[in-house]
Amino acid sequence: MRPVALITGGSRNIGWAIAQRFAPTHRVVIGDLSPPSSALADDASWFECDVRDYAACERLVAAAVAAGPLSVLVHSAAITRPAVPVTEIRPGEWADVIGVNLTGAFHVARAAVDALKAAQGSAVLISSRAARVGYAALNPSPAGTKPHYCASKAGVISLTRSLAVELAPHGVRVNCVAPGSIEGDMIPRERWPEIAARVPLGRLGKPEEIAEACHYLCSPAASYVTGHVLDVNGGTWMN
Ligand SMILES: NC(=O)c1ccc[n+]([C@@H]2O[C@H](COP(=O)([O-])OP(=O)(O)OC[C@H]3O[C@@H](n4cnc5c(N)ncnc54)[C@H](O)[C@@H]3O)[C@@H](O)[C@H]2O)c1
């Protein structure tokens, strides 16, 4: 039976690239609000799942486990919101961003813990350079700094470390990938040249480059790596 790779937010862009990277060796299960943007491999599947809903995450994990041992979990589902001054962020808007990006990560991880332990699997939570810097670096706006998005992604790093320590005795590794500016729908295409000019490597990253980092962290090559945050940002932020 092929091991399963469960990818939240796997229907497009970075999550889709992650799903494609695991597809040759894993049965891919995608949990996303929307159906995949392209055709899935024969043994891959998509389940409608809103990660804000814990019961939906439990159903998603149950469906994944029914397909095989849960060897890989990647939580990529997230939302962002336009930069506005903090005084213009409505409490409900703050709650939406934290709800998907951070509480969603908790829901997915909590629902998957037993299955990961049973399979000696590995998890990656997708954070962001925004968490490291504390504001939306290279994507600045005089209007604001996206504190909800940045705080949610900083929370994801902290959650990763807590999970890594708690699950290490069970043989489960938990790591984080923090992308910089990546080609896709999150950054309007007309801004790519201006952003690329400020990246030491001279371009935006590609979804496949984030997928490769996730694949490494879940592979035997990273067998002694846990609780790590892997920055994949073209040199725009260095620890
Ligand atoms: N694109 C970038 O430049 C960039 C930079 C840093 C970090 N990231 C992070 O990488 C990840 C992927 O980014 P992307 O550019 O592919 O984003 P995207 O917006 O293109 O895709 C996000 C996916 O998540 C899904 N989703 C949204 N809300 C959901 C919910 N409540 N439940 C389930 N699924 C939901 C969407 O349907 C979509 O398929 C995100 O965690 C994002 O924060 C992206």
Cα of 222 vs centre of ligand 1, distance in Å, is 25
In this structure, which residue's CA is closest to atom 31 in ligand 1?
50
Q: Which residue has the tokens 């995949």?
A: 36
Binding pocket residue ranges, ligand 1, CB within 6 Å? 8-9, 11-15, 32-34, 49-52, 76-79, 100, 104, 126, 128, 179, 181-182, 184-187
pLDDT tens digits for range 125-135: 999 999 999 88
The pick from 7, 12, 14 for probing ligand 1's pocket by mutation, whose C-beta has the most ligand atoms within 8 angstroms, reads 14
Give the type of residue at 194: E
Q: What are the catalytic residues? A: 149
pLDDT tens digits for range 102-114: 999 999 999 999 9
- pLDDT at res. 82: 87
**pTM of the predicted model, to two decimals?**
0.97
Which fold is adopted by the domain 4-232? Rossmann fold (3.40.50)
